[in-house]
Structure 1
């Protein structure tokens, strides 16, 4: 994973993480290998994985190293080879099975979240074949809720609950949703609910105990972080988790971290952000000092030139949102959390 430091339009520094994606093409027969060579030139980011030993070993290695697999061989071989590797649709790679004539591209695994359906359609398009897609929502023309949640940036902690709601959508044709945030236009089969009790889905950054309602957590929180030099990543993580639990906020709703630019090289902070795939916004003391209504600290001012760090950094990074958590002090960490009032601005 690469970590990049970039400047945004507001002049703040932001560290972001980028993960490369790759597609493995595995073929067994002479004809299959010829088709593999052709696909390699047609599918960007793909590479041919030679089968030098047992096919089970080839699959095991490709499974670890690639986000998606194109297998040019009999479906039965694929099924028997991947059976010991299967974990969950949220982590398993997308897998497409193709015959060596390129007539059919079967989306076998991780069709929605992993992109298997899209990859099958891509393979079929470039080869002039037919994509075979069997997921019920696609066949019936309904919204794929897991894919919709992913595209909206909504975290789902109750996977079984979402599966239940997806089944309701397929069986009845619609589900209801209540949101604590403004939403863009919804798909026709996701019906806005005026009351929480009538909803199947709830978009919230809070932790709620509501029976038969699946919580969808948007990226609607910013955690402002102040810390002493050489504070371990674990200590920062525990402080943020404690702050979220104390105020009944979903840790999954934290969009990014924010701090003073003096911490742009802080090892523990960078390691924590890297491990959690959380962008980091950094602000200068002058920028932080322009934020009104925050709790000032004489000690922080002497050490950094800013009257405060965690609260103003969170507010600035959230776009001026309200503080849901005023600064909480831990032995080496200070945490404050601000809310992003419109977490879906690019979708309007």
Structure 2
């Protein structure tokens, strides 16, 4: 359970915004008694978003801290929603990763005070196409997808597909012309990210053994680069001849 705690009216408005976007969350506005309520939620293992000064958060939680291996994650936000600070259990409890998700929701600045702050995401492209698809067609699709995702070619680490496309000339020449690695993955590897796909195609599965080439390949390309689970930032986009998706992952902290 996520407990969002606000102490001011401005904080309450920010809390309402977060509650609408976060599953299994509950907003507490000026709870009384404040310390008892917050300490109780923390002790019960609830993740906390405290919209207040860091000093208040520290003084409130200090009496109930156990260890970084046992304490739930805690984020502190200013009432304007400009900054997100993972306060407790940054590594072990996942507060750093969670803070990144919340900062993305708010378009806020993530302030990580643990080792290796401000990690840059690794973006990977996944593409599928019919046999003999021209490089020009693939390039146009890729550029349209990058624009839609708000990214540039400089953000992209690799172009990925299924192993039956190892000799696909259009994909090979596209990657070479963009100076990007072209990587292919077998169906067994691609199927490990089925649970992360936005869409599943039974037709594609019957044809090549995976439920989606572009999304799966993008996810695997990104996750293999960081050894971390990836997420889709642009779901499969389709033309008459090709598909394209974009995924990202973050390097491990610490």
Structure with more contact order per residue of length (Cα contacts < 8 Å, sep ≥ 6): 2
- TM-score for the superposition, normalised by structure 2: 0.49
Q: Between Structure 1 and Structure 2, whose CA radius of gyration is higher?
A: 1
